[in-house]
Amino acid sequence: MARKTDAAPLLDVENLTVRFAVKRGSGWGHKSYLYAVDDISFAVKRGETLAIVGESGSGKTTAALAIARLVNVYKGKVNLDGTDILHLEGENLRQARTKVQFIFQDPYSSLNPRLRAEAIVREPLDSLSNKSDKECKEIVNRLFKAVGLRPEQLRLFPHQFSGGQRQRIGIARALATQPELIICDEPVSALDVAVQAQILNLLRKLQTEFGLTYLFISHDLGVVQHMCDSIAVMYMGKIVEHANRLSLFNNPLHPYTAALLSAVPSVDKKRRESAKRILIPGDPPDPVNLPSGCRFANRCPVAQAQCSELEPDLKMVADGHRIACHLVDEDAKSPL
């Protein structure tokens, strides 16, 4: 199937919030909440790839788990092809799960060591479909070929594969139910650099071949640059910048985004010489006791008084470029 896009997004997330109760102190003290994902909204067009990036603890993986209904959502909507999947139950939820599949970060722990590769890829078909044994075997054989594995490897156990081959099994498993959306949670971070390139190229090929839509979770902007159509940058549970790939890499507006990009190594000598390394001092604020104003203010090199007083809204400043920063106006110029 050829890759295609249309006006209506396949995935439309509105005001998604995930919180966890945190016990502090002893006795019957006041219950506090950690807002791992705090009122975020974004959309992904059919056939495209959106990356959610940020450092550890930013909330990107929790957002992905919430969209897949693997953690409970406090409030918000997750519309998949026009249907809010957060309110589905029973058979309707079972059918929705066939449309959303997950590729996990660690290929060593995400595969059942007691099952052969054939059974691992077949698992979603057995639990989410009513296909016959013959149909399941045909699908598994096709998927093994599609991800670059050999037929004789179907009977092997996970420990008999390399890390890259295990991730190929995980990708085949994610494709088994013919999903429309695949959530890739740092799918190459546990692999060697050379193997990373192979897996990323495979994901791009499969996207074109099967018309897939990806939600790509990563902390590596170097990887994201070659995979994604648009990027949302998260910090402390909030989206601070959201733009298409070229706009974000050529004109990062939020100081946090600029700092992340300044740390990305480049093979271009001129770019290396002209690039200014931006350091982020200090530590993130306490996620259970967040300060007023912008959550990045205590680490921002250009913060002003208003930044510590009023939380910025995620506003549109250019064509498709959204930014949550008091210091960026409609001219879309970086404050750095």
Residue type, 75: K
Domain spans, the chain = 9-99+179-323, 111-178
List, for residues 16-75, the tens digit of each pLDDT value: 999 999 877 665 667 789 999 999 999 999 999 999 999 888 999 999 999 999 999 999
CA dist., res. 14 & res. 127, Å (int): 29
Taking only Cα atoms into account, the Rg of the chain, rounded to an integer number of angstroms, comes to 21
Q: 9-99+179-323 architecture in CATH?
A: 3-Layer(aba) Sandwich (3.40)
**Among the listed residues 61, 42, 46, 9, the one whose alpha carbon sits nearest the alpha carbon of residue 213:** 46
List, for residues 177-191, the tens digit of each pLDDT value: 999 999 999 999 989
For the entire predicted model, the pTM comes to 0.91
On average, the pLDDT of the chain sits at: 91
Q: What is the pLDDT of residue 3?
A: 43
Q: What is the pLDDT of residue 279?
A: 82
Q: In this structure, what is the dihedral angle of CA atoms 212, 243, 55, 187, given to the nearest 10 degrees?
A: 10
CA dist., res. 124 & res. 173, Å (int): 7
The length of the chain in residues reads 336
Question: If you search the block for the tokens 């406090």, which residue do you land on?
Answer: 74
Structure tokens at 97: 């799960």
List, for residues 213-241, the tens digit of each pLDDT value: 999 999 888 889 889 999 999 999 999 99
- Helical H segments across the chain, by residue range: 60-67, 90-97, 117-128, 133-146, 163-175, 193-210, 221-225, 245-250, 255-262, 269-274
Question: If you search the block for the tokens 């159509």, which residue do you land on?
Answer: 229
